Amino acid sequence: MKDIKNRFLEYVAFDTQSDESTGTHPSTEKQFKLAAFIKEELLALGINDVTLTDQCYVYAKLPASPGCENVPGLGFIAHLDTSGAASGADIKPQIIEKWSGAPIRLGETDLQVKPSPTLIGHTIITTDGTTLLGADDKAGIAIIITAVEKILEENISHGPISIAFTPDEEIGEGADFFDVDFFGADYAYTVDGGSPNMIEGENFNASSAMVTFKGVSTHPGSAKNFMINAQKLAMEFDSMLPPYETPEHTTGREGFYHLCSSNGDVSYAQLNYILRDHDARLLKKKEENLLRIARYLNEKYGAERVSVQIKDSYRNMAEVIEKYPFLMKLAKDAITAAGMDYSQNPIRGGTDGARLSFMGLPCPNLGYGGYCAHGETEYVDVDGMKAVVQVLLNIIHSFISNPLPFNDRKNGAV
């Protein structure tokens, strides 16, 4: 059986960053390289039903063990792509066996990480400080495939199991071409979180906003009472947003406005925001606030100088998951049985599972043992990854040992 650490290191050697600017599906062709590698790995494990689609989705299915054919179908999902927030190319992992508790310097950079003291003695993998690591979500992929390999090698009894690896999750498009019917599961879990004892059934409601500004340009020597600088309009717009409702000042269930990018000149400028809130009503108020500020500036400067385009991204999966409380209970019990105290917190972000839940596939999220995603200080706890493998096996066992009939499960009974 392949060591999960080595499996993970194989995956992070692939550069799989997604890119929302391309407009293609998948957004980057390089995601296919890891997808093809995983397809061949699954076939080599003895799984016959493996599909790689034109949109870069990998699906695989394990038929139920004899006598378990009537067990509800269970799925596990992780994503292939990595964030564009830091480079994902030429990753040079640092492996720290039996971490002592001392700060870990990242390569030759001035960056360092110091994991929680609870991880002393564990094997930690970091970056060299020049790239992200890719534990988000290649740790999830390694966990799922290691669990599947263990099932096959040890002939562990199980109901129907479906697994899938999606592209473009980091740009919010991971569920765009996900075929729920083809996937074949009744319920699923994404493995795309943080600490290995994490179970999440709630995430942000999310939207994005593109705000454009039209200025009037002229020679600065004769600009008095005539020039309208689009860049200054953009700065004024942003200054009117609540200063403490930003990611760097919020936590827990507090929502935010996040200015992701800006560009422009005197004639034209653009600000791109993401808006987040666990309460859908509060997210709506944030959207209305952007429109209100735009109206004010248009009245102040005349004409349609400012325009706002708002696009829905995803909704809070709690609307769906609360109808299937047994999914959270089974995960909590599985984490406890793996020797950990479970932690349940709202996701300050989103996963494929959020959208899939509204597509008819209830899908809470599990942790993968990774920390500080989307940056050069990302690291992963290998012992935590191994613990999540056991969590998955415990959930699989619960599906065949739980006495609830299928119809009761579908109705969300516990």
Residue 49 is a catalytic residue:
no
User: Contact 311/218 with Cβ under 8 angstroms?
Assistant: no
Residue 186 amino acid letter: D
Q: CB neighbours (10 Å) of residue 230?
A: 22
Residue 381: strand pairing partners: 124
Compute the distance between CA of residue 306 and CA of residue 301 in angstroms, rounded to an integer.
9
Coil/strand/helix, residue 285: helix
Q: Which of 177, 150, 181 is nearest to 166 (CA)?
A: 177
User: Contact 62/161 with Cβ under 8 angstroms?
Assistant: yes
Residue 61 amino acid letter: K
Coil/strand/helix, residue 249: helix
Selecting among 15, 81, 128, 202, the annotated active-site residue is 81
User: Contact 97/123 with Cβ under 8 angstroms?
Assistant: yes
Compute the distance between CA of residue 358 and CA of residue 363 in angstroms, rounded to an integer.
9
Selecting among 41, 136, 168, 169, the annotated active-site residue is 169
Structure tokens at 291: 């429109």
Backbone angles phi, psi at 97, to 5 degrees: -80, 140
Compute the distance between CA of residue 184 and CA of residue 141 in angstroms, rounded to an integer.
19
Residue 97 is a catalytic residue:
no
Residue 191: strand pairing partners: 366
Q: Which of 198, 210, 239 is nearest to 349 (CA)?
A: 198
Coil/strand/helix, residue 152: helix
Run of H or E residues at 289: helix 280-301
Q: Which of 289, 293, 299 is nearest to 234 (CA)?
A: 293
Structure tokens at 327: 């999914």
Q: Which of 216, 17, 22 is nearest to 132 (CA)?
A: 17
User: Contact 347/193 with Cβ under 8 angstroms?
Assistant: yes
Coil/strand/helix, residue 190: strand
User: Within 13 Å and on the Cβ side, how many CA atoms surround 275?
Assistant: 25
What residues act catalytically?
Answer: 81, 169
